[in-house]
Amino acid sequence: MITQTKEITPEYDSKTIAKLKQIVGKNNVISDLEGLYAYSFDCAHIPFSKEYPRVVVFPENTQQVSEILKFANRHRIPVIERGAATNHAGGCNPVKGGIILHFSKMNKILEISNQDLTCKVQPGVVVGDLQNEVSKIGLFFPPDPSNLAVSTIGGGIALSSGGPRAFKYGTFKDYVLDLEVVLADGTIIKTGAQTVKNVTGYNLTQLIVGSEGTLAVITEATLRLIPKPETTNVLMAYFNTIEEAVNAVSTIINNHLTPSVVDLIDQKTVQTIEAFYPTGMLCDKEAALLIEIDGDDASVKHQQEKIISLCMENNAQYIDCAKDEEHKKRIWTSRRSAFGACAQLAPNVITEDVVVPRSKIAELSKGIIEISKKYNLITMIMGHIGDGNIHPNFALDLRDKKQKQNFEKAKAELFKLALSLGGTLSGEHGIGCQKASFLPIALDKTTLNLMIQIKKVFDPNYILNPEKML
């Protein structure tokens, strides 16, 4: 384990704040206790320590980020990067106090090239805003971390976020060509090239992608774009068992069809959505599949017909296929309401994020149900079944000691189960604080040590997002 060399002290804070105000301007600094409290958690609201940030800063350009890091590194002050804080894993919790770097003022789309099919953006750009902007000229940025209206490009790159469209289009890592990053000592570097092909030296770009802010601060990204599919359609297919839903997906894939989205929603999730945001889903079936297809008109029609018939072959009980834009929106709204609906059940909703080979999804789902029964937990299962990525949502009250203990035990069993099925701890939300202590069961000692050495090369004073991942 790596340990921090010097703790921030209260006397130190006033000097720190004064220096930061000098770098970014006094209107770009929050240092009052009420303000700081709001930046102590990510959206899961789990207190991993009693710490809160000593200051939140909103840099407006790369030079300011560099100045902040030079100062923080000199004084061994933790720096925690924060986008929209939707990561769920305690990825931007300030567990050692320190400075929160908030990127909402570095939110410009700097360039979109129709000719090169690339764009250059700042880290605070909201994913949905980029998608809308490139769509105006017939281009597409596929990664969709299911909350496009708020989550940022910086957070998406730092976690290599995926989402429903990863099955066909891959995750953030497949779209990052070049990064401008600031190293822990304030040095500004470029990691890649503006080209789609590039094998010049080690692939530092992909080392930074998914590194959860522990190696460097992302200040600009060049991203690959693709032509926007002409049209899409979506359907919801209902099955009596999760196993039948999984079999239907395998049949679809074995028939060489590649839907843009194949998401699983279990009965408890459907019932919860219908209880709080009713859209007319069927509540009496064990599993629903949301399937989206895209392409030109003829291809979408052809894929849709085949998928409907393959679902029926696998005993689908009912298929709700969108007939117009309004209908499409309704089906997608039900899927996107899932987390919000679960959050109505208890003060906390903890979304887990395990991934297994697709063939093991039914076994994993059965195991999750057994673990939840054993520990008396309310659990709703959903996920990107096409990628084998399952998100059990646990609704509980963390103030209740017994429930908290039960959840910790259930979590450990869930991770062991995923590993025993040939899977791993996280498909897209990252390790953060939430899973850091489980890394040694997922990685061998030599691999883990190599990762620790890499961290030391990039961040010898251990100031960047401490206590996350390693």
Ligand X SMILES: Cc1cc2nc3c(=O)[nH]c(=O)nc-3n(C[C@H](O)[C@H](O)[C@H](O)COP(=O)(O)OP(=O)(O)OC[C@H]3O[C@@H](n4cnc5c(N)ncnc54)[C@H](O)[C@@H]3O)c2cc1C
DSSP state of 109: E
Binding mask 412-431 for ligand X (x = CB under 6 A): ----------------xx--
Q: Is 85 in the site for ligand X (CB under 6 A)?
A: yes
Q: Does 92 bind ligand X (CB under 6 A)?
A: yes
Nearer to ligand X, 294 or 459 (CB): 459
Give the contacts of 51 (CB within 8 A, at least 6 positions apart): 40, 94, 95, 96, 97
383 binds ligand X (CB under 6 A): no
The window from 16-24, 82-90, 222-230, 362-370 that contacts ligand X (CB under 6 A) reads 82-90
Q: What is the 3-state secondary structure (H, E, C) of 275-286?
A: HHCCCCCCCCCC
Residue placing its CB nearer to ligand X in the complex, 87 or 118: 87
For residue 59, state whether it binds ligand X (rule: CB under 6 A): no
Contact 237, 292 (CB under 8 A): no
Distance CA 297, CA 109 (A): 31
Q: Cα–Cα distance between 146 and 338 in angstroms, integer?
A: 10
Q: Nearer to ligand X by C-beta: 217 or 242?
A: 217
C-beta of residue 156 within 8 angstroms of C-beta of residue 172: yes
Q: Which stretch binds ligand X (CB under 6 A): 86-94, 304-312, 322-330, 445-453?
A: 86-94
- Give, for 200, the enclosing helix (H) or strand (E): none
Member of 59, 97, 123, 210 binding ligand X (CB under 6 A): 123
464 burial type by CB count under 10 A (0-12 exposed, 13-18 middle, 19+ buried)? buried
Q: Are 101 and 79 in contact (CB under 8 A)?
A: yes
Closest approach of Cβ 92 to ligand X, in Å?
4
Q: Going residue by residue from 140 to 169, which x/- string records binding to ligand X, judged by CB under 6 A?
A: -----xxx---xx-xxx-xx-xxx------
| Residues ≥6 apart with Cβ < 8 Å to 427 | 162, 353, 354, 355, 384, 387, 388, 389
Residues near ligand X (CB under 6 A), total: 37
Distances (CA, A) of 51 to 48, 55, 227, 397, 434: 8, 12, 46, 21, 16
For residues 191 to 220, the per-residue mask of contacts with ligand X, x marking binding by CB under 6 A and - elsewhere, is: ---------------------xx---xx--
Which residue, 100 or 225, has its beta carbon nearer to ligand X? Answer: 100
Q: Which positions touch ligand X (CB under 6 A)?
A: 42-43, 80-88, 91-92, 103, 123, 145-147, 151-152, 154-156, 158-159, 161-163, 212-213, 217-218, 339, 428-429, 465, 468
